[in-house]
């Protein structure tokens, strides 16, 4: 599924997580970090949101690493720096 085709507008904020506007329904959805929920956004400070060629939404955060949004479950998969894993990302600040 491509979010561009759906016309959704993803808005990253500094401190407020992500707001997603559906202009056809005139409705917002909100995604924020919840420390009690491992499937929530990794950080409420969002640097970058990108849709890849397969329609996946990737979110670069400040201190929450790289996040992949799973539309079917409305959850986020986190890719974070791990000093004990040489294959992990290089920093939890992803611009």
pLDDT tens-digit profile of 23-52? 999 999 999 999 999 999 999 999 999 999
Q: Tell me the C-alpha distance between 76 and 85, whole Å.
A: 21
pTM of the entire predicted model: 0.89
Cβ atoms of residues 29 and 16 within 8 Å: no
Q: What value does the mean pLDDT of the chain take?
A: 94
- Residue 17 banded pLDDT, cuts 50, 70, 90: very high
């Amino acid at each position: 599924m491509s979010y561009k085709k759906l016309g959704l507008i993803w808005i990253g904020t500094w401190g407020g997580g992500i707001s997603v506007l559906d202009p056809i329904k005139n409705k917002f959805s909100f995604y924020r970090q919840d420390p009690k929920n491992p499937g929530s956004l990794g950080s409420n400070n969002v640097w970058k949101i990108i849709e890849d060629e397969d329609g996946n939404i990737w979110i670069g955060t400040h201190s929450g690493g790289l996040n992949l949004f799973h539309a079917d479950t409305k959850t986020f998969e986190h890719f974070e720096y791990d000093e004990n894993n040489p294959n992990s990302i290089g920093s939890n600040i992803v611009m």
